Structure 1
Amino acid sequence: MESKNWYLKPNVVIEPLIGRWYAWSHLISPATAAMNVVGRHLKIMTSYIQAPQVHAAAVMNPQMLGGPFMDYKEPRVESIRKLKEDTLRNQADLVQLAEAITELDKMLKANAKGFSLETLYEKVPEILKGYVELVYDLNNNPSFRVFESLLYKSKFYNKDSQSIALWITNNDERPFCLSTARLDTPDVLHLSIPLDHPGIDALSKMKRTAGSIDEIAAILGVEEKDRSLFNTFFTQEEHPAYKKYDGDNVRMRYFGHACILIETKEVSILVDPLISYYGYESSIEHFSDIDIPDEIDYVLITHNHQDHILFETLLPLRHKIKNIIVPRTTSGALQDPNIKLAFNKIGFKNVIEMDEMEELTFGGCTITGLPFTGEHCDLNVKAKTCYHVAAGRFTFLFVADSRVLEAKLYEHIQRVTGDVDVIFLGMECDGAPLTWLYGPLLTEELSRDKDQSRRLAGCNAEKGLHLVDIFHPKEVYVYAMGMEPWLEFISTIRYTEESRPIVQSNLLVAECINRGITAERLFGEKEILYQYEEKLV
């Protein structure tokens, strides 16, 4: 194995973990992580220990997909019991933080009656003192904001709980990541390294640049007993080389879900990266990381949901990414953690926050942040942005999962941006209820009828057509539907022809075609070349 002609196999998964749970953005920020450890992880583990047969039955029922049920082929009660004990011991600070946040919220509801909050600071739980500000809204409803940047510099942010799991995937089947912890199995190598470890970059580079297995093993701290498994992750077969786009057009490539790559011969822009693997049989044609440039000028993040910020994709791309643009927020609210801080903490140093209607111009392209409404269960979340991208005179509008709640908003925007050539619109118009994603952050139970009314829902046909009427696009593409099989482990979506998102997107596509507009619901992969005309300055 001393040769330096080894490549990382194309279907090796570098899976980021925190406390042996799939690392998503709400597990990075200390306050939201604390609430998820207590309100999601410990609850699910306790339930599994008490009734593993209920979990086994639930994961076999398609109607229960995405529920709080652990998905293991064999009973793992003792392993989960140990993981729960490890969690209570190793993440004790986060457990105490979650308890303090709940106590603080209850204290404010009981004592804050519209008078000055200054006297209530002495009632703030001791471990939260100095980390929160007590506030009212304009209607005298009490709340608090956390000083998130300070929490990151406290004992509540502990990189020791971070790790990666290395394994080879030969299909797209995986348990739902938010409810199934990653336990020890013979084919998975766990490495106790933080997510900002430079070894992740060195390992990822070996997909295109050959290297030494001995050297990368030393960098990652692989123990001798694990070397035989580690060695199986490498091959001496060189992967297909990426051919840089050097044409005179704008090239659009769809990678699945909300992941779009826009390229000119000068610039590359990757939106909401979520990229599948290759190296195994698949019934669906799809682009993979062999189709990603060696350098990515800008990555655009639309919002802070687990299917739009996927660290499993982003960490292996970290060494390629020159800049990441994220929505700006400093709200300090549990439901609205700061995306830039999270990226910085896991090793991304080139993160740019963008405000609504703010512009960034470079290389003949202009990116503009636009308001993003809805799809967040009516919670006050600021970290969400749609993007208008102008490549020369050609314009794209990435709406993501934004729901058109008031069409006049987009009329105001259109007066600034003008019409657009292409709209990318998410139409997952059912959406999960509030508690599916944000439940662990709630300090008191939400009634079922209220929960069911507040959903993570995008546009239906009627709302989507508002955008068509306002921006007069030449092309409309429905995307971000979670339909690709490699999405199921984070989205749990399985549509039929009768599913409302399919029915509604069919209606929108048909109406666009009837108007002479090119329209399609994207699936798998797609490539289009657009005529590029550089703007005159």
Structure 2
Amino acid sequence: MSTINKDRYLKLNVAIEGLIDRWYAWPHLVSPATAAMNIKDRHLKIMESYIKNPKIHAAAVKDPKMLGGPFIDYNGGRVDEIKELYNATLDSRTDVLEFREAIIELTDMLKREAKGYSLDALYEKVPEILRGFVELYYDLNNNPNFRFFEALLYKSKYYEESSQSISLQLVEADDSRSFVLSTPRLNDDNLIHLDLPFKSNLIDELFKMKRIPSDYDTIKNTLGILTGQEGLFDSFFTDQAPDAYEKYANKGVRTRYFGHACVLVETDEISILIDPVISYDGYETDVKRYTINDLPEKIDYVLITHNHQDHILLETLLQLRHSIKNIIIPSSGKGNLQDPNLRLMFKNIGFDNVIELDDMESIEMDKCTITGLPFLGEHSDIDIRTKLCYHVKLHNDFKVLFVADSCNIEPKIYERIHNIMGDVDILFLGMECDGAPLSWLYGPLLSEKLERDKDFSRRLAGCNFDQGISLVDIFNPKNVFVYAMGLEPWLQFISSIKYTDESRPIVESNKLVNECIKRGIDAERLFGEKTIEY
């Protein structure tokens, strides 16, 4: 039974999953054009395959070699519900599916008819539903292409907020959840689904309650919790206040590693959170971790390095939205299908405090300067501009460099950067050097299937040992931390990564850490949690 008119706290291990058509939301599902491609060429394909042969999916999910593959994780069951979702998607997303077909038609038309002559006459051959949304162009090698006016797409019927919803659940025990790119979220006795658009301020009001108690009945009634789910909703709350956050008050610098690529940098005057991916608290676990309760009540700057689902985790960002003062993102491309505009995406889901940075552009404050640096590779050689490394300069000239998943395939670029920025004190370096092939993430955007050998040569990969140690040589850090490896158990449902001691990223990062230590540089591959004060 609920407690009448009593202020209560939301438990720290309550998770929110933003959903689109009942699939776990990530930026390519929010942006209209990429959403159209993923709905058709990821969601519908996976569901159709499951409906035809659920036993193959059940076997594949249990095979470690198939981790992260396009297999639904319902143990071969719930076929009727998947079929119902499949049909509902076809019915409700007719416009979007037609939009996808028009994109393919436009691509084919340009290949056939754009031969280096003026494109003016081809505008009449653009599919009707795309007319007014696209500009045709040639690159300097006379290859034809098109770009979207994305702001118009967000104002059209192809951006459907009605497809957005959220689910609430308690994360407990082993952190396990089904892989987000391949398993839709069906109804479950442990889930509460709510038809709320992501921009709803009710999400903010709910998640403020993790720290600030509020009236339970008010939030229950405002959210429209059904009578049959009142007991479950009640279990999400507690009368016990969380531990108070201890603000960093020293005159130095504190860094806290929260898992994967998420790092909090604090001084007594500023807080900076990079690529927020926050775990949950309130249950027994074998892996120590920091959680939302280990963050400041207000975060001055959130830095986003690039537009991949493990670096823009909407699950975390929606929970933190009410406490984020500013989000810094890489300046986005201008309407190319593969590179949707991040600022538009954030704005349309309720973030009004977004700042774009270009390469070598800085935000300067009294005691801090944040500079965006070039980010190489990790995007399968596709023309994607929405990516930045970050150089953070704090008081007393203390410098931290976050390279994230950037792959140092051309050290000359970072040598030129070093000539401008100088040495750094700390280097955070990603070394997931066996990344997935191009098609794993970008496959739905391709108009033609890429040959397997070409696909597997173009990886979503970070630095190997040689590339990583080159960065160490260039920037001369006092501390080197290998991160962004997807090692933590609470990341597996996002990254699908599970290493052994023989896995190449482990072998290569061990080699780098040992080489740094041999040179007298403090080095470590991070896992779980880590705090260092300087």
TM-score, length basis structure 2: 0.98
Q: Given that residues 7 and 208 in structure 1 are in contact (C-alpha distance below 8 angstroms), is that contact kept between their aligned partners in structure 2?
A: yes
Find out whether 1:470 has 2:463 as its counterpart. Answer: no
Structure 1 residues 45-98: Cα deviation after superposition (integer angstroms, max 9, x where no partner): 000000000000000000000000000146011000000111111111111111
What does residue 437 of structure 1 align with?
441
Letter paired with 1:162:
Q
What does residue 463 of structure 2 align with?
459
What does residue 143 of structure 1 align with?
145
Cα displacement (A) at 1:397:
0.4
Q: Given that residues 57 and 75 in structure 2 are in contact (C-alpha distance below 8 angstroms), is that contact kept between their aligned partners in structure 1?
A: no
Q: Given that residues 4 and 210 in structure 1 are in contact (C-alpha distance below 8 angstroms), is that contact kept between their aligned partners in structure 2?
A: no
What does residue 322 of structure 2 align with?
319
Q: Given that residues 304 and 383 in structure 1 are in contact (C-alpha distance below 8 angstroms), is that contact kept between their aligned partners in structure 2?
A: yes
Cα displacement (A) at 1:211:
1.1
Whole-angstrom CA distance in 2 between matches of 1:257 and 1:31: 29
What does residue 83 of structure 1 align with?
85
Letter paired with 1:42:
L
Find out whether 1:341 has 2:344 as its counterpart. Answer: yes
SS at match of 1:510: helix
Letter paired with 1:18:
I
Letter paired with 1:482:
G
Cα displacement (A) at 1:331:
2.3
Cα displacement (A) at 1:353:
0.4
Letter paired with 1:99:
E
SS at match of 1:144: strand
Find out whether 1:364 has 2:367 as its counterpart. Answer: yes
Letter paired with 1:16:
G
The equivalent position to 2:313 in structure 1, one of 286, 305, 310, is 310
Structure 1 residues 356-410: Cα deviation after superposition (integer angstroms, max 9, x where no partner): 1001012401000000010000000000000000111100000000001111101
What does residue 535 of structure 1 align with?
none
Whole-angstrom CA distance in 1 between matches of 2:339 and 2:333: 8
Letter paired with 2:365:
F
Whole-angstrom CA distance in 2 between matches of 1:310 and 1:4: 32
Letter paired with 1:304:
N
Find out whether 1:110 has 2:127 as its counterpart. Answer: no
What does residue 250 of structure 1 align with?
253
Superposed, 1:125-140 pairs within 5 Å as 125-140=127-142
Q: Given that residues 331 and 382 in structure 1 are in contact (C-alpha distance below 8 angstroms), is that contact kept between their aligned partners in structure 2?
A: no
What does residue 48 of structure 2 align with?
46
Letter paired with 1:279:
G
Letter paired with 2:85:
L
SS at match of 2:325: coil
Give the root-mean-square deviation of aligned CA atoms. 0.9
What does residue 60 of structure 1 align with?
62
Q: Given that residues 325 and 351 in structure 1 are in contact (C-alpha distance below 8 angstroms), is that contact kept between their aligned partners in structure 2?
A: yes
What does residue 196 of structure 1 align with?
199
What does residue 490 of structure 2 align with?
486
What does residue 165 of structure 1 align with?
167
Structure 1 residues 305-353: Cα deviation after superposition (integer angstroms, max 9, x where no partner): 0000000000010000000000001321111011111111110000000
Structure 1 residues 167-201: Cα deviation after superposition (integer angstroms, max 9, x where no partner): 11113111100100000111111000100000000
Superposed, 1:264-343 pairs within 5 Å as 264-343=267-346
Whole-angstrom CA distance in 2 between matches of 1:330 and 1:60: 39
Q: Given that residues 18 and 315 in structure 2 are in contact (C-alpha distance below 8 angstroms), is that contact kept between their aligned partners in structure 1?
A: yes
Cα displacement (A) at 1:498:
0.7
After the TM superposition, which of the residue ranges 239-248 and 430-439 deviates more from structure 2?
239-248
Whole-angstrom CA distance in 1 between matches of 2:11 and 2:263: 24
Whole-angstrom CA distance in 2 between matches of 1:73 and 1:366: 51
Cα displacement (A) at 1:284:
0.7
After the TM superposition, which of the residue ranges 213-222 and 449-458 deviates more from structure 2?
213-222
Cα displacement (A) at 1:253:
0.2
Percent pairwise identity: 61
The equivalent position to 2:426 in structure 1, one of 418, 422, 428, is 422
Cα displacement (A) at 1:224:
3.2
Letter paired with 1:451:
D
What does residue 510 of structure 2 align with?
506
Q: Given that residues 429 and 500 in structure 1 are in contact (C-alpha distance below 8 angstroms), is that contact kept between their aligned partners in structure 2?
A: yes
Whole-angstrom CA distance in 2 between matches of 1:221 and 1:115: 59
Q: Given that residues 164 and 190 in structure 1 are in contact (C-alpha distance below 8 angstroms), is that contact kept between their aligned partners in structure 2?
A: yes
Find out whether 1:239 has 2:242 as its counterpart. Answer: yes
Letter paired with 1:52:
P
Q: Given that residues 266 and 363 in structure 1 are in contact (C-alpha distance below 8 angstroms), is that contact kept between their aligned partners in structure 2?
A: no
What does residue 35 of structure 1 align with?
37
The equivalent position to 1:154 in structure 2, one of 156, 173, 187, is 156
Whole-angstrom CA distance in 2 between matches of 1:265 and 1:203: 29
SS at match of 1:469: helix
Q: Given that residues 5 and 215 in structure 2 are in contact (C-alpha distance below 8 angstroms), is that contact kept between their aligned partners in structure 1?
A: yes
Letter paired with 1:336:
D
Q: Given that residues 176 and 493 in structure 2 are in contact (C-alpha distance below 8 angstroms), is that contact kept between their aligned partners in structure 1?
A: yes
Cα displacement (A) at 1:13:
1.0
Whole-angstrom CA distance in 2 between matches of 1:74 and 1:430: 30
SS at match of 2:302: strand
Whole-angstrom CA distance in 1 between matches of 2:467 and 2:410: 9
Whole-angstrom CA distance in 1 between matches of 2:335 and 2:346: 16
TM-score, length basis structure 1: 0.98
SS at match of 2:511: helix
After the TM superposition, which of the residue ranges 207-216 and 46-55 deviates more from structure 2?
207-216
What does residue 4 of structure 2 align with?
2
The equivalent position to 1:446 in structure 2, one of 447, 450, 475, is 450
SS at match of 2:420: helix
Cα displacement (A) at 1:244:
1.1
SS at match of 1:319: helix
Q: Given that residues 54 and 76 in structure 2 are in contact (C-alpha distance below 8 angstroms), is that contact kept between their aligned partners in structure 1?
A: no
The equivalent position to 2:72 in structure 1, one of 66, 70, 73, is 70
The equivalent position to 2:221 in structure 1, one of 209, 212, 218, is 218
Post-superposition, which runs of at least 4 consecutive aligned residues in structure 1 deviate over 3 A? none
After the TM superposition, which of the residue ranges 78-87 and 238-247 deviates more from structure 2?
238-247
SS at match of 1:253: strand
Whole-angstrom CA distance in 1 between matches of 2:328 and 2:94: 34
Q: How many residues align?
A: 530
Structure 1 residues 286-312: Cα deviation after superposition (integer angstroms, max 9, x where no partner): 111110100000000000000000000
Mark the CA change 1:137 to 1:147 in structure 2 (over 3 Å): closer, same or farther: same
Whole-angstrom CA distance in 1 between matches of 2:249 and 2:293: 17
